[in-house]
Amino acid sequence: MAKDGNNGAAEFLPDRLDLDALRAAAAGCQGCGLYRNATRTVFGEGPGQARFMLVGEEPGDQEDRQGHPFVGPAGRVLDRGLVEAGIERDDVYLTNAVKHFSFTLRGKRRIHQKPTAAEITACRPWLDAEMAVVRPEVIVVLGATAARALLGREFRVTHHRGEPVPLGEALAVATVHPSSVLRAPDRDEAYAGFLADLKAAAQVA
């Protein structure tokens, strides 16, 4: 069978499960169609022993160009929140539910497109492998896409944000996506809510 298309990431997983092997293997993933137009796989980053795993949606334009998660505008909101919540960078493994940037072209601009349910499912083996290797105590779920991937379709971030919920051997705490803070009519209020959820997550570990 051609290793191209929509069979999911599972067939690209390496035999050895450690972060270096996973990252190297994910660089060649063709488990869904998103690899075709994106520049590169943006894999998770952080120490293998991190107590916190933060899961976003997918890399954005900057992340796709630079090859690292959360290095664009949403990443700056996240970084500020982590500092103010007292969560140390050394304690954080940062990743996304989907590892390739999904976009549509508007002229020369690449406009972020939400990953589909099929793409989220296709990419799930990478996230599962990252969770199995890092074994975080707390998983911070950033926004609806990550919540859908990890907590199921019925989970509503708006109803349950900031509440620890069991997820495997970890506890998950969901919050809004940091890019929604940037889009909010009242940014200060949105940021305050985001920070309160990160502080709740910090208390769990």
Q: Which residues bind to ligand SF4, rule: CB under 6 A?
A: 9, 26, 29-32, 34-35, 41, 98-100, 119, 122-123, 126
Binder of residue 136, out of ligand URA, ligand SF4, none (CB less than 5 to 8 A by kind): none
Nearer to ligand URA, 45 or 137 (CB): 45
- Least Å distance, CB 19 to ligand URA, is 17
- Least Å distance, CB 145 to ligand URA, is 7
- Least Å distance, CB 180 to ligand SF4, is 22
- Least Å distance, CB 101 to ligand URA, is 9
Binder of residue 96, out of ligand SF4, ligand URA, none (CB less than 5 to 8 A by kind): ligand URA
Binder of residue 59, out of ligand SF4, ligand URA, none (CB less than 5 to 8 A by kind): ligand URA
CA-nearest of 130, 200, 195, 120 to 165 is 200
The contact set with ligand URA (CB under 6 A) reads 56-60, 63, 69-70, 72, 74-75, 96, 179
SS3 letters for the chain? CCCCCCCCCHHHCCCCCCHHHHHHHHCCCCCCHHHHCCCCCCCCECCCCCCEEEEECCCCHHHHHHCCCCCCHHHHHHHHHHHHHCCCHHHEEEEECCCCCCEEEECCEEEECCCCHHHHHHHHHHHHHHHHHHCCCEEEEECHHHHHHHHCCCCCHHHHCCCEEEECCEEEEEECCHHHHHHCCCHHHHHHHHHHHHHHHHHHC
Query: Nearest residue to ligand URA, using CB?
Result: 56
Nearer to ligand SF4, 32 or 71 (CB): 32
- Least Å distance, CB 156 to ligand SF4, is 25
